[in-house]
Amino acid sequence: MQNLGQLIQTGDWKGEKHVPVIHIPQDIKVGESFELKVSIGDEIKHPNELEHHIKWIKLYYFKEDGKFPVEIASFDFVSHGEAGVITEPVGSVNVKLNASGFIYALAYCNIHGLWENKAEIKFN
């Protein structure tokens, strides 16, 4: 039996439609709020229909000298064409951080499973 971590897939979001894209502004400052955005399909559109869709995305922060990640946000996408309603796999949250570290994004596709990406947060 595999550990959960062994089941998480990754890749370059420019060539793989399942990989979450983490959008971080260029000039963020310690302790100041900034918009952290995550999306799926920026380069290659992911299907969004009942049969094939992104179900959810979660964001985590791992402080540079931390012991475990802290969940920042969880986005559930629950409409995939019912009555003509579609929720796109995009989420945004304002966040304040007090130290450098990493943002991790974990997404779930109902057909292709778990996908992750990470981005470094570096304060001067």
- Please list the active-site residues: 16-18, 46, 52, 109, 112
Match 């946000």 to its residue by tokens: 73
For the chain, how far is it from start to end, CA to CA, in angstroms? 43
Number of Cβ within 10 Å of residue 46's Cβ equals 20
Say how far apart CA 43 and CA 14 lie, in whole Å. 5
Instruction: Report the relative pairing of strands 21-23 and 34-39 from DSSP bridges.
Output: antiparallel
